[in-house]
Structure 1
Amino acid sequence: MKMEIPPLHEILRRIDHAVLKPWQTRHDVDRAVREATELGLRGIIVSPSLLHYLRDTYSEGIRGVVVGFPFGYHHLEAKIKELERALADEPDEVDAVINYQRLILGDYNYVYNEAAALTELCHDVGVKIKLIIETPVTAQNPQTLYKAVEIAVKAGADYIKTSTGFGPRKTIPEDVAAINKILEDMNVRSKIGIKAAGGIRSALQAILMLKAGADIIGTSTPSTIRETYTFLKQFYEKKLDNQ
């Protein structure tokens, strides 16, 4: 079956540039700002300690911050304090990790109450929230994945994000497709978006995620996606010419 390759700009405008490694500094934010502006990216996501700097240096796209990152097992009170402090630096979006440790133990009420509290705090100040459900862990059990998606929907999240990139494996298209199907079966797909993130470093990976249902791509290597896109398109067109 022929796979349509979307235009490069259609991929780039869906990319959140992640600057989340613990050793990254303001210099990395400066580099990300240059890349995001040059490539026309959707936005930049940073750690809470770098958000104020991002706010002062970047205005062309979405300015995002992570909370409860990367493992999500912080007490709710700690996450709320972290979120309140982050919101003071005026992000456009928050990527928050749910307590998937409690989720896999079946403590669904706790996880829902946490997700709802974080979502309410964001929405009260007009900030969108992506709930990270860590599919490399939660997708190991279909029931756990279903509950993660269900909780995010009931909590009112704007997006479900697959992974932090710190899990036991990369995000795969099957993760995105599974989330997409659950949302469709719940008849809420038009109300909540999907962000694919975690080990996405090539144009082919990004395209497969979009084909599986992702609305946003999270990556720390947008320039590599641009470079591999050129190679992929040339290879694909050459293959079609030879058929």
Structure 2
Amino acid sequence: MLRPRIIPCLLIHQGGLVKTRRFGEPKYVGDPINAVRIFNEKEVDELFVADIDASALGKEPNYDMIRNLAAECRMPLCYAGGVKTADQFERIVSLGVEKVAIGSAAIDGEALISEAVSRVGSQSIVAVLDVRKTGIFGKYEVHTHNGSKKTGLAPAKLAAHLESLGVGEIVVNNINRDGEMSGYDFDLMEDVRQATSVPLTALGGAGELAHLRELIDRFPIIGAAAGSLFVFKGKYRAVLINYPVDEQKAALIGKD
């Protein structure tokens, strides 16, 4: 039975764990493997790891790093960063990663998605839509390469197209709210939810558990992903790896 998932998002930059703000100002927050070990102890639902260097610079995925992360993880792992071929999908899944995410490669990737589906299955293919409000009227637009390139594409329309190609999950990442800790953009999520039926994950804006609760109340079957919420504590953003304890989590996802 499908249920909400609460998902820490970890960003890898120059080999370290960082947290950004509106896709800039990366702040070092620790060692990725140590963070995974802590999240293991906290029994998180799922972990999303993105190599933002590979994404922005077009580098090959760091397979040694991925292997080490997958070997350490005791929860489902989704990896993003630098994936452009079906061979890479297959290799990463062979290392023990449950899901592989693509961003820019998904835009013109009909052949890639089709081949990846045949090799690893739709359930292992995730599309990440990095979305920013642009223009005078504040229209939503998908961006690529860590938010540096406009595509002219509306997220809801693109999500529907990707679903038709066989993508098994959509992650909607709001650039404007990245690191702001002010709450999710529910209008954006509603647009994409109305256009798609595949599992959907929201990222960008969560700063307190109440934001997760509101997201899950509005969209009962959804992934509630966050970065800052799970690596910072307090208004001064002291680094502290954290995750809801059992009682908090039960309240968030509606368990008795």
TM-score where L is the length of structure 1:
0.63
Instruction: Return the structure number with greater helix share.
Output: 1
Residue identity over aligned pairs, in percent, reads 13
Greater Rg, structure 1 or structure 2?
Answer: 1
Alignment map for 1:1-243 (pairs within 5 Å): 14-23=5-14, 24=16, 27-35=31-39, 37-46=40-49, 47=51, 48-49=61-62, 50-58=65-73, 60-68=74-82, 79-80=84-85, 82-83=88-89, 85-98=91-104, 111=107, 113-115=108-110, 117-118=112-113, 120-122=115-117, 124-126=119-121, 128-137=124-133, 140-141=139-140, 144-163=154-173, 167-170=175-178, 171-183=184-196, 189=197, 192-213=198-219, 215-220=222-227, 221-222=229-230, 226=244
Instruction: Return the structure number with greater strand share.
Output: 2
Is the contact made by 1:176 and 1:209 (CA closer than 8 Å) also made in structure 2?
A: no
Is the contact made by 1:18 and 1:44 (CA closer than 8 Å) also made in structure 2?
A: yes
Q: Which runs of 5 or more structure 1 residues have no equivalent in the other structure?
A: 1-9, 69-77, 101-110, 184-188, 234-243
Structure 2 letter corresponding to 1:174: D
Task: State the alpha-carbon separation in 2 of the partners of residues 61 and 84 from structure 1.
Answer: 19
1:154 is paired with a residue whose SS is helix
Between 1:26-35 and 1:195-204, the stretch displaced more is 26-35
1:134 is paired with a residue whose SS is strand
Shift of 1:133: 1.7
Task: State the alpha-carbon separation in 1 of the partners of residues 169 and 67 from structure 2.
Answer: 23
Structure 1 letter corresponding to 2:130: E
Task: State the alpha-carbon separation in 2 of the partners of residues 146 and 57 from structure 1.
Answer: 35
Is the contact made by 1:16 and 1:218 (CA closer than 8 Å) also made in structure 2?
A: yes
2:206 is paired with a residue whose SS is coil
Q: 1:18 to 1:178 in 2, by over 3 A?
A: same
1:169-193 deviations in Å (ceiling 9; x for gaps) = 345122212211223xxxxx2xx11
Structure 1 letter corresponding to 2:81: V
